[in-house]
């Protein structure tokens, strides 16, 4: 019997060699019909004997191209047409535009081989790619993903490239960014003023200048990097000085795994992550003795390292036996540069030279940052290689645009049963970052082809994104509390809806009571929450200043732990007391002057790091906590006293006894490592004890862990272990960051659920 079936495939099926793949299977089975991209995915009509049609679907399922992923297949029996042959048709423009573009993908082995083969016509061509690899999202101007909707549109294919592009059995069949040295993008080296240098080989010239200590801005996939020789301490210091980046660790790129293993102790899992097509930065334990300049990642046990992800990077690193620092090309709190002229303007005074090319970057996309912790891959920054892959949701929700938090911002659109997060935007402190924020909203609306009428935002009235929400004149604006959003994000990516005991441990988030929350136990589902317990409030003398100068927090902790003789204790711990600083703090505390109250675990970390003399002033967020974690490796520590006050609702988690104990032990000569480890261990026991009390009260045995503090590997692993021991089911983040980079997802799912459960909420714009 002859049948004709219309198959619709959804998932990552565009720009990944899916149509030629379908073509090959259909031709092999002698089926007739066609395949084409549609805004909803890929559709194929196949006609032939019943048996062959069956085989077709089996073969599709079993031999998918490496970058393709099918999330849905629908089939429909349609009338037989008796048209001979099988064709690849032009794209359909209409229909439900549900399908976005695939993420950028690292150079595949086949392309790599060609790149270094002197007999190949693409020998040393820095823009080599194929259907299995290359730029995707970052060159896209619209959908569907066809060449005319990319920044390759202005390059017309040479006869040979065209032939590859049109030959179904070629690896470059419909590889949209296909190019060669005859017809494709080319490199240029510019001087500090943006003038082109007349050199034979811009790349070779750039390498030589790098090796003699220059700072070179290199145009990558989603933006520029600033590169310097990572073994040249003076060059690294120079870069830090020009970029005003004092101590924050810098990422490096090495040419291959062998070189990576000379610098760090990557496990098999970490090695696989380094080599994955997403090609992220991976935080890996640094080796003790390496060729790296000390100024690359001072004071940190981990090194952020990545392997080359583009032919250009492979060529750049080819003769560099050590590593290159490759840090995002931007000034503090500004987004990464993408345009050639933009780079020359914004990086003036930072870069000595610019290695650029004429393939435009259309979507700003930073490097992703990952690590392996508690047995899973964790994302600290989700961007290149991961975006715009969807987070699948458990159920379809009404469309929502979520505008995210203020720091480590991303935005998110929910469409149907998928959530799409934007690339990492960063901290919304500069006009450039705010422009990037609007750029990201447009991007996500464009690739999801939706403009949701519901907008979700943070509860904080002062955030730029909150004000932007009001300005957008949506039919509904739904503010979501920061830590609730954290927990909902965690539930959503675990395909759970709650209720759970949500443990959100964080820097800061605006609380319903106007205080700064950040050590929260919420009984939460994706719709609502109650605050069941929190870390007992403590004051932040000087507010923002206390965040930069954790010794102030230490002083406040001492004052409440030892009201009678705290200053004497402070002196014995060497807290700074220049010009009566401690008296000033005392006055501020007594009169409650600029001393906002907080339950933030992040700030408690800062305070304890200062008490232990690890760090009293920080130059970047999280620095004190990172060093406190670093101090505690290789010791176990012991559980120190703490108190859970259940007389009050919410329960109060009181760490004054812990502070007292740490201070006494410190004065008695206790080691920093031991006390830092004990601090971590005590937190985990305190959280697990609190969770047990809440389990009794609410009959819940599932826990969701979220918030920036769980980027701390030790805290995450020990908490998970301790909760596991007490038979809790523990949800953690794997697909999205546990830090504020995941907030937009939580906001979107929370708002979507509320609208779904209560459609009248649509009318209640605040």
- Contact partner, 506, from Fe ion, Zn ion, none, Cβ < 5-8 Å per class: Fe ion
Q: Is 493 in the site for Fe ion (CB under 5 A)?
A: no
Q: Is 740 in the site for Fe ion (CB under 5 A)?
A: yes
| Omega cis (within 30) before 144 | yes
- The minimum distance between CB 112 and Zn ion, in angstroms, equals 8
Distance CA 736, CA 424 (A): 11
Q: Is 12 in the site for Zn ion (CB under 5 A)?
A: no
Distance CA 423, CA 404 (A): 12
* Residues numbered 410-429 forming contacts with Zn ion, rule: CB under 5 A: none
Helix (H) or strand (E) holding 514: none
- The minimum distance between CB 601 and Fe ion, in angstroms, equals 10
- The minimum distance between CB 159 and Zn ion, in angstroms, equals 8
- What is residue 477's three-state secondary structure? strand
* Residues numbered 149-168 forming contacts with Zn ion, rule: CB under 5 A: 158, 161
Binding window for Fe ion (CB under 5 A); candidates: 49-57, 687-695, 733-741, 751-759: 733-741
Paired tokens of 224: 């520029």
- The minimum distance between CB 517 and Fe ion, in angstroms, equals 9
- The minimum distance between CB 10 and Zn ion, in angstroms, equals 24
- The minimum distance between CB 405 and Fe ion, in angstroms, equals 6
- What is residue 656's three-state secondary structure? helix
Size of the site for Fe ion (CB under 5 A): 2
* Residues numbered 523-552 forming contacts with Fe ion, rule: CB under 5 A: none
State the SS3 of 728-739: CEEECCCCCCCC
Binding window for Fe ion (CB under 5 A); candidates: 590-598, 637-645, 663-671, 732-740: 732-740
- Contact partner, 362, from Zn ion, Fe ion, none, Cβ < 5-8 Å per class: none
Which string of x and - marks every residue 541-570 that binds Zn ion (by CB under 5 A)?
------------------------------
Is 15 or 741 the residue whose CB approaches Zn ion more closely? Answer: 15
In degrees and rounded to multiples of 5, residue 708 shows phi and psi of -55, -30
- The minimum distance between CB 37 and Zn ion, in angstroms, equals 20
Size of the site for Zn ion (CB under 5 A): 10
Which string of x and - marks every residue 70-109 that binds Zn ion (by CB under 5 A)?
--------------------------------------x-
Q: Is 182 in the site for Zn ion (CB under 5 A)?
A: yes
Among candidates 560, 753, 549, 570, which has minimal Cα distance to 663? 570
Q: Is 506 in the site for Fe ion (CB under 5 A)?
A: yes
Binding window for Fe ion (CB under 5 A); candidates: 110-118, 133-141, 634-642, 734-742: 734-742
* Alpha-carbon distances, residue 662 vs 28, 351, 557, 586, 609 (angstroms): 72, 46, 11, 21, 11
Beta strands of 353-440 (E only): which ranges?
Answer: 353-357, 369-373, 376-381, 390-402, 412-421
In degrees and rounded to multiples of 5, residue 239 shows phi and psi of -60, -45
Q: Is 111 in the site for Zn ion (CB under 5 A)?
A: yes
* Alpha-carbon distances, residue 163 vs 130, 150, 170, 179, 386 (angstroms): 13, 20, 9, 11, 31
Which string of x and - marks every residue 119-148 that binds Zn ion (by CB under 5 A)?
-----------x-xx---------------
Which residues are paired to 73 by β-bridges?
9
Instruction: Write the burial class of residue 487 (CB in 10 Å: 0-12 exposed, 13-18 middle, 19+ buried).
Output: buried
Is 6 or 112 the residue whose CB approaches Zn ion more closely? Answer: 112
Task: Check: CB of residue 626 under 8 Å from CB of residue 559.
Answer: no
- What is residue 370's three-state secondary structure? strand
Q: Is 180 in the site for Zn ion (CB under 5 A)?
A: yes
In degrees and rounded to multiples of 5, residue 651 shows phi and psi of -55, 145
- The minimum distance between CB 740 and Fe ion, in angstroms, equals 4
User: What residue is closest to Fe ion based on CB?
Assistant: 506
Distance CA 526, CA 498 (A): 7
Binding site for Zn ion (CB under 5 A): 108, 111, 130, 132-133, 158, 161, 180, 182-183
Residues that bind Fe ion (CB under 5 A): 506, 740
């Amino acid at each position: 019997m002859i049948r004709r079936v219309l198959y619709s495939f959804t998932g990552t099926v565009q720009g990944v060699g899916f149509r030629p793949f379908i073509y090959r299977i259909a031709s092999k089975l002698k089926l007739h019909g066609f395949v084409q991209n549609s805004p909803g995915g890929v559709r194929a009509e196949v006609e032939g004997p019943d048996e062959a049609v069956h085989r077709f679907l089996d073969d599709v399922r079993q031999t998918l191209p490496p970058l393709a992923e099918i999330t849905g297949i629908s089939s429909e029996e349609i009338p037989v047409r008796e048209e001979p042959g099988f064709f690849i048709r032009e794209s359909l423009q209409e229909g439900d535009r549900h399908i976005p573009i695939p993420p950028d993908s690292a150079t595949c082995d086949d392309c790599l081989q060609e790149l270094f083969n002197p007999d190949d016509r693409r020998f040393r061509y820095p823009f080599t790619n194929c259907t299995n690899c290359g730029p995707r999202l970052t060159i896209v101007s619209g959908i569907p993903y066809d060449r005319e909707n990319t920044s390759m549109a202005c390059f017309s294919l040479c006869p040979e490239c065209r032939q590859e592009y049109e030959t179904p059995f070629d690896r470059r069949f419909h590889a949209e960014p296909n190019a060669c040295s005859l017809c494709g993008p080319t490199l240029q080296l510019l001087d500090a003023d943006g003038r082109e240098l007349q050199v034979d080989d811009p790349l070779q010239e750039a390498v030589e200048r790098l090796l003699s200590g220059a700072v070179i801005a290199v145009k990558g996939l989603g933006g520029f990097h600033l590169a310097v020789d990572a073994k040249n301490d003076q060059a690294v210091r120079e870069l830090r000085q020009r970029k005003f980046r004092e101590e924050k660790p810098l990422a490096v790129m090495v040419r291959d795994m062998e070189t990576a293993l000379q610098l760090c102790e990557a496990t098999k899992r970490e090695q696989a992550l380094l080599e994955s097509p997403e090609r992220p930065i991976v935080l890996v334990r640094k080796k003790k003795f390496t060729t790296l300049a000390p100024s690359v990642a001072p004071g940190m046990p981990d090194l952020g390292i990545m392997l080359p992800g583009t032919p250009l990077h492979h060529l750049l690193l080819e003769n560099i036996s050590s590593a290159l620092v490759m840090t995002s090309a931007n000034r503090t709190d500004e987004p990464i540069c993408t345009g050639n002229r933009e780079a020359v303007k914004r990086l003036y005074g930072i870069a000595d030279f610019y290695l650029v090319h004429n393939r435009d970057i259309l979507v700003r996309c930073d490097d992703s940052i990952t690590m392996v912790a508690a047995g899973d891959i964790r994302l600290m920054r989700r961007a290149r290689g991961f975006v715009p892959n969807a987070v699948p949701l458990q159920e379809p929700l009404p469309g929502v645009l979520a505008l995210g938090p203020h720091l480590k911002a991303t935005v998110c659109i929910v469409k149907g049963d998928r959530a799409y997060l934007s690339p990492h935007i960063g901290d919304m402190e500069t006009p450039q970052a705010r422009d990037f924020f609007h750029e990201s909203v447009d991007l996500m609306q464009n690739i999801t082809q939706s403009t949701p009428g519901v907008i979700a935002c943070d509860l904080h009235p002062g955030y730029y994104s909150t004000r932007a929400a009001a300005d957008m004149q949506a039919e509904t604006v739904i503010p979501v509390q920061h830590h609730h959003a954290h927990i909902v994000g965690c539930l959503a990516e675990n395909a759970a809806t709650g209720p759970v005991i949500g443990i959100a441990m964080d820097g800061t988030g605006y609380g319903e009571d106007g205080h700064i929350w950040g050590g929260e136990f919420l009984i939460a589902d994706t719709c609502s929450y109650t605050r069941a317990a929190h870390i007992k409030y403590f004051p932040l003398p000087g507010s923002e200043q206390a965040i930069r100068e954790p010794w102030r927090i230490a002083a406040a902790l001492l004052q409440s732990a030892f009201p009678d003789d705290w200053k004497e204790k402070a002196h014995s711990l060497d807290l700074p007391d220049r010009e009566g600083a401690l008296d000033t703090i005392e006055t501020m505390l007594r009169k409650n002057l600029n001393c906002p109250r907080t339950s933030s675990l992040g700030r408690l970390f800062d305070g304890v790091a200062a008490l232990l003399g690890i760090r009293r002033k920080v130059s970047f967020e999280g620095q004190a906590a990172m060093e406190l974690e670093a101090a505690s490796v290789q010791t176990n520590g012991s559980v120190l006293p703490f108190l859970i006050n259940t007389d009050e609702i919410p329960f109060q988690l009181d760490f004054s006894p812990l502070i007292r104990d740490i201070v006494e032990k410190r004065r008695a000569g206790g080691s920093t490592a031991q006390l830092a480890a004990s601090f971590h261990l005590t937190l985990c026991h305190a959280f697990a004890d609190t969770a047990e009390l809440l389990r009794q009260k609410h009959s819940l045995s599932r826990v969701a862990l979220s918030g920036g503090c769980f980027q701390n590997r030790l805290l995450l692993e020990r908490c998970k272990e301790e909760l596991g021991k007490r038979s809790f089911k523990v949800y953690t983040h794997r697909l999205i960051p546990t830090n504020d980079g995941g907030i937009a997802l939580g906001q979107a799912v929370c708002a979507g659920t509320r609208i779904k459960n209560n459609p009248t909420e649509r009318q209640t714009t605040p």
